[in-house]
């Protein structure tokens, strides 16, 4: 025979087990809900910041690659930028055709529009076709606004005349995909010397 708190217990007697009360469970759920309300916006901001950092790093990678290839091959390498939702007469590279929309009503043939920015490095034309060397995409480039390009020359310097109104430098500003995110945009500067620099806007 066993005893519980001094009371003898025989086999078959129910033993009292202490569980959670309804109030304790409700308090636990309320605390968990409050923690999630605090954590979700922080996680969302973290993800948006990571996305922007990824876009910036990819753009720097493509341009650094284009400059090094221009020096290595001793020939100019062009980096072309195509904005979203702007019809163009030539299709983007295969890697940048997500969300492609085709309008066949143009007099000069079909026109193509896309959902995001795309940029690509290409070597000079070879028998009519330029060789695409590397491709990247960005959610939101806010400056310059339209199509533009820059050319890295064989000595590593850059022809930035096709990049907006910049006299001695070309500035590309990348912003978070959602304007509601409280994240500062990032600007990449390309100088005539071909140097690349990332600066906070």
Q: Identify which has the larger pLDDT, 155 or 33.
A: 155
Cβ(97)–Cβ(82) below 8 Å: no
Q: Which pTM value belongs to this model?
A: 0.74
Average model confidence (pLDDT) for the chain? 84
Beta bridge partners of 171: 189
3-state helix, strand, coil in the chain (%, to 5): 25, 35, 40
Domains and CATH numbers, the chain: 35-199 (3.55.40.10)
Mean pLDDT value across residues 128-136: 83
- For tokens 């929309």, the residue is 101
**What does the pLDDT look like over 5-15, one tens digit per residue?**
556 555 555 55
Q: Is the pLDDT of residue 42 over 80?
A: no
Dihedral angle computed from the Cα positions of residues 36, 38, 43 and 48, in that order, rounded to the nearest 10 degrees: 130
Percent of the chain with pLDDT over 90: 34
Q: Which tokens belong to 151?
A: 């050319």
Cβ(95)–Cβ(135) below 8 Å: yes
**What does the pLDDT look like over 54-77, one tens digit per residue?**
999 999 999 999 999 999 999 999
**What's residue 127's pLDDT?**
63
Pairing of strands 77-82, 169-174: unpaired
* Rounded Cα gap, residues 87 and 112, in angstroms: 5
Q: Is the pLDDT of residue 199 over 80?
A: yes
E strands, 36-178, are 77-82, 101-103, 111-113, 117-126, 129-138, 141-143, 148-152, 158-159, 169-174
Task: Give how far Cα 82 sits from Cα of 25, 88, 148, 170, Å.
Answer: 55, 9, 7, 16
Q: Among candidates 171, 174, 163, which has minimal Cα distance to 196?
A: 171
Mean pLDDT value across residues 19-44: 81
* Rounded Cα gap, residues 147 and 87, in angstroms: 11
């Amino acid at each position: 025979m066993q005893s519980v708190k001094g009371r003898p217990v025989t086999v078959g007697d129910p033993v009292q087990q202490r569980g959670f009360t309804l109030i304790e469970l409700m308090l636990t759920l309320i605390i968990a809900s409050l923690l999630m309300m605090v954590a979700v916006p922080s996680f969302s901001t973290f993800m948006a910041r990571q996305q922007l950092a990824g876009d910036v790093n990819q753009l720097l990678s493509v341009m650094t690659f284009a400059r090094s290839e221009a020096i290595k091959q001793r020939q100019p390498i062009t980096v072309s930028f195509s904005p979203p939702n702007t019809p163009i007469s030539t299709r983007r590279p295969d890697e940048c055709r997500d969300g492609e929309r085709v309008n066949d009503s143009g007099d000069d043939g079909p026109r193509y529009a896309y959902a995001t920015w795309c940029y690509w490095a290409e070597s000079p034309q070879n028998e009519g076709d330029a060789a695409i060397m590397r491709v990247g995409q960005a959610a939101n480039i806010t400056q310059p606004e339209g199509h533009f390009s820059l050319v890295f020359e064989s000595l590593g310097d850059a022809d930035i005349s096709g990049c907006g109104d910049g006299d001695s430098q070309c500035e590309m500003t990348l912003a978070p995909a959602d304007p509601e995110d409280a994240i500062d945009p990032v600007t990449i500067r390309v100088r005539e010397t071909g140097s690349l620099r990332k600066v906070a806007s």
